Amino acid sequence: MTEPAPVFAGGVDHERLTSQLRFVLETDKLKRILRRNMLVDGSRRENDAEHSWHLALAARVFAEYAPQGTDIDRVVEMLVLHDIVEIDAGDTFIFDTRETGSQADRERTAADRIFALLPEDQARHTRALWDEFEARTTPEARFAKAVDRLAPMLANWHTEGGTWVRHNVTRRQVADKVKIIADGSPALGSYAEALIEDAERRGYLAAG
């Protein structure tokens, strides 16, 4: 990894800033991790950095559909951080049982390395947010996960089935994932159900 350039600034903890710069430079790699789904216009595959930004924006826009009292700032922070582990672990296709079987271990190992690049207090904070997102034990984490699950569904519908068609994904497989959306936001869950119904009518989902 490229070392941060020297910094000469009065009143700055150089060791702390160097750690922060190292983390920021490392996470630039997220821009090169390609996801399975295409952009909504079908022009190319989406990368993880674009995905994370778009989710953070969507969480702000959809805030009114979150459970009452949900801290949207915390949701946004989770979504900005949630896929950083894929720098090491790679993108895992949600419908590939072989890949998903090892996903948790690969991503925890990545989290151990990457978040530890930060100063200790920030490392604890970011790792705790990532763990919270994965565990889905808070309204914020459940809403964040709902937005994360809805985004690829939108991309697939708008690209005439996208990865669903390419990988022969069934309605049942997609419907099973919608449970997580409904758990985080009943309103978004209802929309996702309607999207599946329409996708099936259009032939975007395989039988079964």
- In tens, the pLDDT along 64-112 reads 999 999 999 999 999 999 999 999 999 999 888 888 889 999 999 999 9
Question: How large is the average pLDDT for residues 19-45?
Answer: 96
Residue 6 covered by a domain: no
Spatial neighbors of 88 by CB under 8 A, at least 6 apart, are: 106, 109, 110, 113, 114
Q: Average pLDDT over the chain, rounded to whole?
A: 94
- Number of domains, the chain: 1
pLDDT tens-digit readout, 38-70: 999 999 999 999 999 999 999 999 999 999 999
Q: What is the CATH number of the domain that holds 61?
A: 1.10.3210.10
Which structural domain range is residue 180 located in?
14-201
Helix (H) or strand (E) holding 26: helix 14-27
Residue 1 lies in a domain: no
